[in-house]
């Protein structure tokens, strides 16, 4: 018969669950508040969400590095702490963007904020575990919430985007589940550290290798979808176009950080085991993504789509760092996103400022280049800031993304991949073209219509967020060194 | 002996039914065959002695998911044939076939190697449900609860997308209709 | 003390940022006042630091942060405040403070008033970094910062159109700004090479590390490094042949000229030589070259000043000439004398420029001294200031210039370089002549401006008051020579006159004085009463040669700019358009085409997208299979 189970509370190490519980509880509080009094002003929810995120942030900071909790399901290592911090900071930047001068549709739902907090909890679960099941459940929680947030923008192309994202996400979830099942079938475990232990003993069995091979390709497909790597990126431009601009900016950072953490855990393990072809397919994916996305970005006529392709290309850039599997390479991933986060969110927020309901400049697109023609005359400060973001994205020193790029390239060279660094350099050169195109439109062209109307959606909180992003973009030179050392310390502490 | 016969019978039937699901142009046929296939899959679980999972399979897939599908179908004209916009059906077959082949290869490969050690083996003389329950409420309590959150998310998402005023614009601000504010020249 | 260092350094930065906040808005006087106050704070902090160092005799070394640490290269961002840098800091901040206050009055009517203060303070900040840095990298950053700010400031009135050389020798402000920038870039290349040589051989750019490693280096390396660094110094300090930008830089607003000449820019070269004195003292050949070049420039510039008619250009030439003196002293090993002359010169040169600014302001921006005269009636104070400054410049006893310049000339004698000595003595006479020629033509004699319908007026009171510290220092600075020597020779090598020189010092002084006084007398006789123009002299070859600056700007244009333009055009038309451009266009076209092709992938159809995912998965498998088989 079964023995009674005795578990001491200390051995559970419940503190490891604290950050996610904060977010989930916050979401529930918002729902309950709305039930009690549905007439509350929506700004309250924004502030409440911010407050919860702050508490969440504090809870993450309070965690100790390299601990496991709850029957070893939870794993708090440096990677998980850094990624949680980045997720929360990006969210804190994102949430105030709802306080525009016109309160858009989605922000009138308290459920929007509740879903947002559940999504964050989902991402946090995803990054604080090496248990494939928990990763899966966290990922799906976050994804479901994200699909809904996209659809809440309430325009026909938002629905289209949400449905596309949902369907393809379901397929990728299928890939993931398949891959995990194969791994379980092979090793009898779905916890990566046990998987690694089993695999390292049975590396010489050919049939095992075939299975590993298949499993890793399936998992890679699933994550390549989440990371929008070529050729799994097809959803990205449509979804970015359909989502509201801030959400598009958010989507190009936060879900990808979470997906990268899991990829580091899974594929880092494979590469560490000496399975060299995993590295090669990752490199192929990375190079293909950065090059093709760049080329496609060139021919876009819409700024938002261009930015979508550009963030795909940036993801490819970072994917290459994953293939290196050195401490420096892993540091580069987080450093890059930490820097990219501010600039990219800033750029999308600038699009958000110019949000119209009516497509006034083009029948097909919301943000065609023509809309920004002559912006320098209409809104000089805005044009300069947008140009700064573009220069930063193009990797012009001394703005923030430049340091990320240079660090990635350095990591590549240090691991002996000189050709990779060269490919990256070439790609940055191509990318500069389409970023400069926007600058040319803003500074050198005359406004298309002689209307003195622009920039309706501006408000104080928006300006504060953009200002913060600008400062972070320009001032990178001052904080880059401490940032690198912090990330490097955290990464090396967790053994990557 | 009976088990082997049952296995092959179920396999053949499952494959056949799922083929209908994929090939049929009529939604109703596809759905019905899917439900039937799901029922037959639960048969595998029973054969393997995982009666708990077998029941779950029945309840979840046949009971919940299929019911949901059929409710959804009521909103459409279910008798109409589906016209897929697939220009290149050859490619689809090729891809489907290749993927299936690869999956079979992958799953078949470990059979040749040593038996896999299960980390949470079944206890002798204890029911399947109890064993699953113990693992689910100790080691997998967190994923279990997160799954609950996931379902909550799905529910909220369903409610607001389907119900709450999504047919009207809730965007605040009087000027939002034309969305153009003439910005007065500050100078 | 550390706080004081940061206050002194960052007050100008804060000032610049503050003014930049209002950069786009219309003129606001308080911007100028706040900027001036911040500069004053910086000055006060510098003075307190100086007193501290004077009392304790040790420098302050602060390390702000690790700036670059990549691999073996580690450049800490540190600051060193010792006897040399604190002297520079006091001089720079004092002159800058006065210039800031002065600009409030001078730029009164300018639209871009706020922007001007932002640039001005940034200029000072760069110079402070340059002098305070404890390593060559920081110095180089300040060096470049100064270059950029000077470009911004010289070209401040960038909207003025280009004119021909005959009308205005420096064509236009933006032309002059570009010239200054490009000349400096050429020189900076030399500087950069020098830094590389140092880093390559020493492995560090910290001053103390570099200087302590000097004995282990070979003579060639030392000479190369010293020469390369000096080329950098030549650019900033406008030594021959990179001197043309300095006079053209007069296109900038006058306060900028005062700043460039007295405090923030041209002294950087001298400062570099003084700072790196351990390097230059072990390279006697390079040092002698510096001394000889300095002497040559002193004479060369003075000769051009003799005939020039432009008020500001004359002063600019005199700066050039005085820089020559400083380099002569530094080259001869008398580093502290060079530094002393630098400080003293800063005071009276700033005063001269600000005085010239007053005159310009009064004369509606007229600069031709032949069109002035008799201004003493309306502009008493300016006359007094410029007179005092010219006396100091001419080296009349008991004014500041006398002590410092005499010491340099004495040094030349003491070193036995009699040729240099003789040239410097003659130059002293010429200096006296041209400075008083300008003073007399401006303030004495008949009132020629009346013909042009100008009604001069004196500058604002507060401006005149603000100038007074410079005026006082121009008179009394010389008396601090003894204590200054005592102060800086704690760090810089001491320099003693030999017994023999000491004995005949009075005679040497008298000779110089005789030259100076006769220069003044000559100027008085010729110009004080009335302007008599002598056609014969003006048409003589030498006069023309001098008036056209030895045709050097023209030479540069004919032999450097034009051929360069020709080659560029050729390269553009034949090489660039046909080969490079075609290639680039080809690549771009190719990229565009492939982009268009790839766009087909983005059909918007969900089924297609799902197919693509499956294709991707299969492709990945194929790639993985291949690499697994090959690897």
CATH of the domain at B98: 1.20.120.1200
Q: How many structural domains is chain B composed of?
A: 2
The verdict on B42 and B101 lying in the same domain is yes
> pLDDT-based confidence at A359, cuts 50/70/90?
low
Query: How far is Cα of residue C55 from the mean position of the Cα atoms in its chain?
Result: 31
On whether residue A8 sits in a domain, the answer given is no
In eight-state DSSP terms, residue C109 is T
On whether residue B101 sits in a domain, the answer given is yes
The verdict on B97 and B173 lying in the same domain is no
Q: How far, CA to CA in Å, does B177 sit from each of A100, A101, A357, A358, B173?
A: 15, 13, 8, 9, 8
Instruction: Tell me which of A9-23, B74-88, B172-186, C420-434 is least confident.
Output: B172-186
Alpha helices for A243-302 (secondary structure H): 245-251, 254-272, 276-298
The verdict on B12 and B99 lying in the same domain is yes
On whether residue A479 sits in a domain, the answer given is yes
Residue B177: its pLDDT value, please? 40
**Percent share of chain C, pLDDT over 90:** 1
Structure tokens at C21: 């906040």
Q: Which residue has the tokens 């899917």?
A: B34
Residue C169: its pLDDT value, please? 67
Residue B184: its pLDDT value, please? 33
Between the two ends of chain B, the Cα-to-Cα distance in Å is 93
Query: Which structural domain range is residue B175 located in?
Result: 140-187
Measured CA to CA, the distance from residue B96 to residue A52 in angstroms comes to 46
As a whole number, mean pLDDT of residues C544-560 equals: 74
Measured CA to CA, the distance from residue C200 to residue A480 in angstroms comes to 26
The verdict on B159 and B99 lying in the same domain is no
Q: Which residue has the tokens 């870039």?
A: C185
The burial of C10, by beta-carbon neighbours within 10 Å (0-12 exposed, 13-18 middle, 19 or more buried), is given as: middle
| Chain A hits for B72, Cβ within 8 Å | none
As a whole number, mean pLDDT of residues C312-320 equals: 85
The verdict on B101 and B23 lying in the same domain is yes
Query: Which structural domain range is residue A105 located in?
Result: 14-493
Whole-prediction pTM value? 0.65
Closest residue in chain B to residue C614, using alpha carbons only: B95
As a whole number, mean pLDDT of residues C94-117 equals: 84
In eight-state DSSP terms, residue C253 is -
**Inter-chain touch B102–C605, beta carbons under 8 Å:** no
Q: How far, CA to CA in Å, does C613 sit from each of A175, A253, A293?
A: 10, 22, 16
- Arithmetic mean of pLDDT over chain A: 86
The verdict on B2 and B67 lying in the same domain is yes
The verdict on B9 and B64 lying in the same domain is yes
As a whole number, mean pLDDT of residues C614-631 equals: 75
Instruction: Tell me which of A275-289, A389-403, C18-32 is least confident.
Output: C18-32
As a whole number, mean pLDDT of residues A101-127 equals: 86
Measured CA to CA, the distance from residue B40 to residue B54 in angstroms comes to 10
Q: How far, CA to CA in Å, does A463 sit from each of A346, A458, A459, A469, B181?
A: 10, 7, 6, 10, 18
| Chain B hits for C617, Cβ within 8 Å | 99
On whether residue B82 sits in a domain, the answer given is no
Closest residue in chain B to residue A110, using alpha carbons only: B160
The verdict on B181 and B101 lying in the same domain is no
The verdict on B105 and B58 lying in the same domain is yes
Considering only CB atoms, B139 lies closest to which of A73, A218, A357, namely A73
Residue A27: its pLDDT value, please? 93
- Per-residue pLDDT tens for C211-267? 888 888 888 888 888 888 888 888 888 887 777 777 777 777 888 888 888 777 888
Structure tokens at C62: 């602060």
On whether residue B118 sits in a domain, the answer given is no
Residue A389: its pLDDT value, please? 92
Per-residue pLDDT of chain B (187 residues; tens, 9 = 90+): 788 898 899 999 999 999 888 888 777 888 888 888 988 999 888 888 888 888 888 888 887 887 877 777 777 666 666 666 556 677 777 877 877 787 777 777 666 555 566 666 666 767 778 888 888 888 888 999 999 999 999 999 888 888 766 666 666 554 444 443 333 333 3
| Chain C hits for A299, Cβ within 8 Å | 592, 595-596, 599
Whether C615 and chain B come into contact, CB under 8 Å, resolves to yes
Residue C176: its pLDDT value, please? 81
On whether residue A393 sits in a domain, the answer given is yes
The verdict on B7 and B56 lying in the same domain is yes
**Inter-chain touch C618–B91, beta carbons under 8 Å:** no
Of these ranges, A173-177, C353-357, C479-483, the one predicted with the greatest mean pLDDT is A173-177
| Chain B hits for A73, Cβ within 8 Å | 139-140, 142-143
On whether residue B130 sits in a domain, the answer given is no
Measured CA to CA, the distance from residue C143 to residue A118 in angstroms comes to 54
Q: What are phi and psi of A112, to 5 degrees?
A: -55, -45
Measured CA to CA, the distance from residue C223 to residue B48 in angstroms comes to 89
On whether residue B120 sits in a domain, the answer given is no
User: Shortest CA distance to B120 belongs to which of B148, B106, B140?
Assistant: B140
- The pairing of beta strand A67-69 with beta strand C73-81: unpaired
* ipTM entry: 0.88
> pLDDT-based confidence at C62, cuts 50/70/90?
confident
| Chain A hits for C592, Cβ within 8 Å | 298-299
Closest approach of C77 to chain A, Cα-based (Å) = 12
Residue A451 has pLDDT above 60, yes or no: no
Q: How many structural domains is chain A composed of?
A: 1
Residue B186: its pLDDT value, please? 36
- Arithmetic mean of pLDDT over chain C: 81
The verdict on B100 and B40 lying in the same domain is yes
Collapsed DSSP state (helix, strand, coil) of residue C212? helix
Best A229, A278, A296 member to test C by mutation, with max C CBs in 10 Å, is: A296
User: Shortest CA distance to C389 belongs to which of C347, C427, C343, C425?
Assistant: C347
Helices and strands counted in chain B (H then E): 7, 0
Residue A109 has pLDDT above 70, yes or no: yes
Structure tokens at C122: 């940034």
Query: How far is Cα of residue A133 from the mean position of the Cα atoms in its chain?
Result: 21
List the beta bridge partners of residue C74: C69
- Per-residue pLDDT tens for A56-95? 999 999 888 888 888 888 889 889 999 999 999 999 999 8
Alpha helices for B49-140 (secondary structure H): 51-57, 66-73, 89-112, 128-137
């Amino acid at each position: 018969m079964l023995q009674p189970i005795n578990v001491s509370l200390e051995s559970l190490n419940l503190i490891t669950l604290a950050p996610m519980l904060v977010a989930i509880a916050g979401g529930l509080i918002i729902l309950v508040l709305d039930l009690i009094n549905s007439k509350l002003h929506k700004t309250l929810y924004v502030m409440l969400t911010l407050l919860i995120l702050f508490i969440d942030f504090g809870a993450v900071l309070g965690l100790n590095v390299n601990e496991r909790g709850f029957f070893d399901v939870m794993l708090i290592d440096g990677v998980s702490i850094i990624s949680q911090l980045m997720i929360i900071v990006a969210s804190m930047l994102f949430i105030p963007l709802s306080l525009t001068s016109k309160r858009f549709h989605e922000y009138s739902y308290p459920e929007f904020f509740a879903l947002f907090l559940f999504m964050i909890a989902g991402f946090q679960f995803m990054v604080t575990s090496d248990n494939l099941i928990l990763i899966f459940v966290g990922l799906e929680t976050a994804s479901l919430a994200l699909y809904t947030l996209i659809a809440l923008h309430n325009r026909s192309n938002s629905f289209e985007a949400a449905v596309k994202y949902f369907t393809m996400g379901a397929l990728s979830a299928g890939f993931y589940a398949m891959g995990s099942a194969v791994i379980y079938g092979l090793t009898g475990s779905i916890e990566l550290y046990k998987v690694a232990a089993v695999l390292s003993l049975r590396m010489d069995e050919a049939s095992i290798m075939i299975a590993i091979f298949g499993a890793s390709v399936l998992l890679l497909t699933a994550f390549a979808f989440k990371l929008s790597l070529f050729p799994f990126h097809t959803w990205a431009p449509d979804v970015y176009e359909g989502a509201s601009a801030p959400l598009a900016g958010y989507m190009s950072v936060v879900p990808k950080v979470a997906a990268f953490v899991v990829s580091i855990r899974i594929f880092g393990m494979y590469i560490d085991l000496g399975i060299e072809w995993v590295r090669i397919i990752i490199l192929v994916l990375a190079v293909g993504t950065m090059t093709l996305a760049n080329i496609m970005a060139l021919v876009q006529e819409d700024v938002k789509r261009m930015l979508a392709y550009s963030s795909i290309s940036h993801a490819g850039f970072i994917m290459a760092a994953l293939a290196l599997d050195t401490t420096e390479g892993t540091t580069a991933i987080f450093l890059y996103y930490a820097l990219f986060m501010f600039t990219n969110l800033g750029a999308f927020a600038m699009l958000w400022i110019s949000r119209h309901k009516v497509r006034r400049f083009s029948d097909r697109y919301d943000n065609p280049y023509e809309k920004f023609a002559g912006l320098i005359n209409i809104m000089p400060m805005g044009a300069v800031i947008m140009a700064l973001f573009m220069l930063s994205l193009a990797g012009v020193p001394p703005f923030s993304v430049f340091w990320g790029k240079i660090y990635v390239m350095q990591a590549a060279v240090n691991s002996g991949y000189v050709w990779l660094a060269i490919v990256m350099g070439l790609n940055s050169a191509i990318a500069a073209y389409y970023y400069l195109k926007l600058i040319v439109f803003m500074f050198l062209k005359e406004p298309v219509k002689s209307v003195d109307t622009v920039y309706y959606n501006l408000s104080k909180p928006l300006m504060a967020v953009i200002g913060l992003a600008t400062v972070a973009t320009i001032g990178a030179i001052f904080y880059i060194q401490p940032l690198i050392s912090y990330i490097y310390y955290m990464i090396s502490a967790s053994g990557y | 002996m009976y088990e082997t016969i049952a296995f092959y019978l179920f396999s053949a039937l499952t494959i056949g039914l799922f083929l209908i699901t994929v090939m049929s142009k009529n939604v109703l046929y596809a759905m019905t065959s899917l439900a039937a296939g799901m029922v037959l899959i639960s048969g595998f679980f029973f054969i393997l002695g995982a009666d708990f999972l077998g029941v779950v399979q029945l309840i979840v897939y046949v009971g919940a998911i299929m019911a949901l599908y059929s409710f959804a179908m009521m909103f459409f004209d279910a008798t109409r044939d589906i016209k897929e916009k697939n220009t290149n059906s050859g490619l689809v077959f090729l891809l489907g076939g290749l993927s299936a082949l690869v999956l079979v290869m992958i799953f078949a490969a470990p059979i040749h190697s040593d038996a896999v050690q299960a980390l949470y083996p079944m206890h002798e003389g204890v029911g399947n449900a109890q064993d699953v329950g113990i693992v689910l409420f100790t080691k997998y309590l967190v994923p279990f609860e997160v799954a609950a959150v996931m379902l909550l998310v799905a529910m909220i998402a369903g409610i607001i997308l389907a119900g709450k005023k999504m047919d009207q614009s809730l965007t605040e601000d009087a000027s939002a209709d034309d969305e153009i504010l003439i910005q007065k020249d500050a100078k | 003390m550390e706080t004081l260092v940061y206050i002194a350094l960052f007050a100008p930065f804060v000032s610049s940022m503050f003014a930049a906040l209002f950069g786009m808005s219309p003129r606001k006087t308080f911007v100028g006042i706040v900027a001036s106050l911040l500069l004053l704070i910086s000055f006060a902090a510098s003075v307190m630091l100086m007193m501290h160092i004077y009392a304790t005799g040790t420098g302050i070394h602060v390390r702000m942060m690790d700036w670059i640490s990549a691999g073996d290269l580690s450049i800490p961002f540190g600051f060193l405040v010792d006897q040399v840098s604190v002297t520079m800091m006091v001089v720079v901040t004092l002159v800058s403070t006065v210039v800031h206050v002065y600009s409030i009055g001078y730029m009164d009517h300018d639209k871009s008033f706020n922007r001007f203060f932002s640039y001005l303070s940034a200029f000072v900040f760069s110079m402070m970094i340059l002098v305070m840095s404890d390593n060559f990298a920081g110095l180089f950053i300040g060096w470049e910062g100064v270059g950029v700010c000077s470009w911004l400031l010289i070209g401040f009135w960038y909207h003025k159109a280009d004119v021909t050389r005959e009308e205005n020798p420096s064509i236009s402000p933006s032309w002059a700004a570009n010239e200054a920038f490009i000349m400096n870039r050429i020189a900076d290349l030399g500087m950069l090479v020098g830094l590389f040589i140092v880093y390559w051989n020493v492995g560090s750019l910290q001053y103390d590390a570099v200087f302590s490693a000097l004995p282990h280096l070979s003579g060639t390396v030392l000479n190369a490094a010293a020469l390369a660094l000096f080329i950098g110094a030549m650019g900033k300090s406008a030594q021959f042949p990179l001197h043309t930008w300095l006079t053209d830089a007069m296109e900038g607003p006058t306060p900028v000229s005062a700043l460039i000449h007295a405090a923030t820019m041209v002294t950087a070269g001298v400062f570099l030589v003084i700072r790196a004195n351990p390097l230059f003292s072990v390279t006697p050949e390079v040092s002698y070259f510096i001394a000889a070049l300095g002497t040559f420039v002193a004479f060369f510039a003075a000769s051009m000043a003799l005939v020039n008619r432009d008020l500001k250009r004359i002063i600019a030439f005199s700066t050039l000439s005085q820089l020559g003196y400083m380099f002569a002293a530094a080259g001869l090993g008398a580093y502290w004398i060079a530094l002393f002359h630098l400080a003293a010169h800063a005071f009276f040169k700033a005063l001269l420029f600000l005085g010239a600014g007053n005159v310009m302001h009064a004369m509606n921006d007229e600069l031709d001294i032949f069109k002035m005269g008799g201004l003493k009636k309306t502009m008493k104070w300016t006359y007094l200031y410029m007179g005092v400054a010219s006396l100091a410049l001419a080296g009349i006893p008991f004014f500041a210039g006398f002590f410092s310049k005499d010491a340099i000339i004495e040094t030349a004698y003491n070193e036995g370089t009699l040729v240099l000595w003789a040239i410097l003595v003659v130059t002293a006479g010429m200096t006296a002549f041209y400075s008083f020629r300008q003073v007399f033509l401006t303030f004495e004699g008949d009132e020629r401006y009346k013909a042009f319908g100008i009604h001069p007026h004196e500058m604002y009171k507060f401006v005149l008051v603000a100038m007074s510290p410079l005026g006082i220092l121009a008179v009394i600075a010389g008396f601090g020579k003894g204590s200054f020597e005592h102060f800086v020779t704690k760090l810089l090598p001491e320099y003693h006159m030999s017994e023999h020189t000491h004995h005949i010092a009075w005679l040497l002084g008298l000779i110089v004085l005789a030259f100076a006084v006769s220069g003044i007398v000559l100027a008085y006789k010729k110009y004080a009463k009335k302007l008599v123009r002598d056609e014969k002299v003006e048409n003589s070859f030498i006069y023309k040669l001098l008036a056209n600056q030895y045709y050097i700007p023209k030479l540069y244009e004919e032999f450097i700019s034009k051929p360069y333009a020709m080659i560029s055009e050729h390269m553009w038309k034949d090489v660039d358009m046909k080969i490079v451009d075609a290639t680039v266009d080809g690549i771009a076209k190719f990229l565009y085409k492939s982009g268009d092709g790839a766009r087909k992938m983005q059909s918007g159809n969900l089924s297609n997208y799902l197919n693509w995912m499956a294709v991707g998965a299969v492709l990945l498998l194929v790639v993985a299979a291949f690499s697994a088989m090959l690897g």
